[in-house]
Amino acid sequence: MSEVELDGRIATRFLEVVAETLAIDVVDPSRTFQDLDGDSLSAIIVVETLREEGIVASAEALLSSEPLERVAARLEASHPGPR
């Protein structure tokens, strides 16, 4: 059971973009981006894709050793909006 809420709009979209970029069906949010073979290029692609949708993420955060659920939760928190 994941320890943070991942059903927010931003977090959901973030995990979708990660999955699309890395060409995997479902992302396990307890793993890190690099666990899933993410590298500096795929991190930039995720960031640029989100930016076009008005979501501001950073490649450094993606490439840190944090699990994706934490990155997602932080993104959700930093983009307050309609729930």
Using CB under 8 A as the criterion, which residues of the chain lie in contact with other proteins when the complex forms? 21, 23, 37, 39-42, 44-45, 47-49, 52, 59
Q: How far is the CB of 1 from other proteins (least distance, A)?
A: 29
Shortest approach of other proteins to residue 48 CB, angstroms? 5
CA distance 4 to 50: 21
Nearer to other proteins, 11 or 21 (CB): 21
User: Nearer to other proteins by C-beta: 49 or 76?
Assistant: 49
